[in-house]
Amino acid sequence: MQICQELSLPSMGCGTWAWGNRLLWGYDESMDAQLQAVFNLCVSNGVTLFDTGDSYGTGRLNGRSESLLGRFSREYLGSGKENICIATKLAAYPWRWTRQSMVSACKSSAKRLGKNVDLVQMHWSTANYAPWQEKGLLDGLADLYEQGLVKGVGLSNYGPKRLKRVHQRFAERGVPIATLQVQYSLLSTYPVTELEVKDVCDQLGIKLIAYSPLALGLLTGKYSEKGPFPKGIRGLLFRQMLPGIRPLLASLREVAQSRNKTMSQVSINWCICKGAIPIPGAKSMEQAKENIGALGWELNSGEIAELDQAAASADKKMVQNIFQTR
């Protein structure tokens, strides 16, 4: 856990992808006070890792997620302030392909945050569609660490083969990889059970971060096959998924009731028990309180085995990120 201690990574982070994507649809400044309250509640309860990205909040709201996080961090005056760790992901845009473009992108993020980025991450690998682009981006990521502009570097959506190659390349420059983000939940075990990326991370001393630990809300128990469903593509996904995950949701509900916890809290705690740092989204006080309720206790081995079996036998799984490499 040495790397996590150096970067002040807690057992659970707060995924600001929810702030950057969902929240900023129809965003207005009247929401700022609510978001500040969510941030304050998280930090005061020991949740001090906040994950965002420079692509969260585009167009008119370009970089808004980073700007908000920076402001909230500066204005927070409670306990745990010194432990706040802001991680951002730099997008592999088509026009971003030189090492200097990555350095410039990180400096822009730092300007929006009002401080240097603590943990900078490659948002996705270009190996699946433009492998020639990746060299410059990775060189720039390592440059940021060497120049002392960040405390640590990480990757996102990398499989074990690519991860090993990048790790070796960075090791030759004396640059450690602190974290790896993958889509990981009871409905998305593929990166761990099939790609075995967690085993590689453990071998290399890399901490695994689990994004979408609630599978876009499917694991919260708040939706039924009869509806109502979320709007848009998410609603179509839920209609397709819910009938096939009925046994898993039943197991989740049973464990949650026996623990006097919610299904969301059990799902998040399962990720923690698997050795990952889950980063559930939170844009309201209710969501933040529910996420915090996943801390301070652990599922026992029997409960984990029951959930593992239910997840393995589910007829439906979450679609993997198209950028996930092997």
Report the catalytic residues: 56
**What's the DSSP call for residue 85?**
E
Residue with tokens 């943990």: 119
Sign of CA dihedral 291, 293, 297, 298: negative
Alpha-carbon gap, residue 154 to 207, rounded angstroms? 9
Query: Distance (Å, rounded) from C-alpha 205 to C-alpha 4?
Result: 10
Nearest Cα to 276, choosing from 210, 213, 211?
210
Instruction: Kindly give the residue spans of alpha helices, DSSP state H, lying in the chain.
Output: 2-6, 17, 32-44, 64-75, 99-113, 131-146, 160-171, 190-193, 197-204, 232-241, 246-259, 263-273, 285-292, 301-312
Q: Are 205 and 176 in contact (CB under 8 A)?
A: yes
Cα–Cα dist 218/224, whole Å: 9
Would you give the DSSP letter of residue 185?
A: B
Residue 144 one-letter amino acid? L
Cβ atoms of 316 and 186 within 8 Å: the answer is no
Element (H, E) at 209: strand 207-211
- DSSP state, residue 18: I
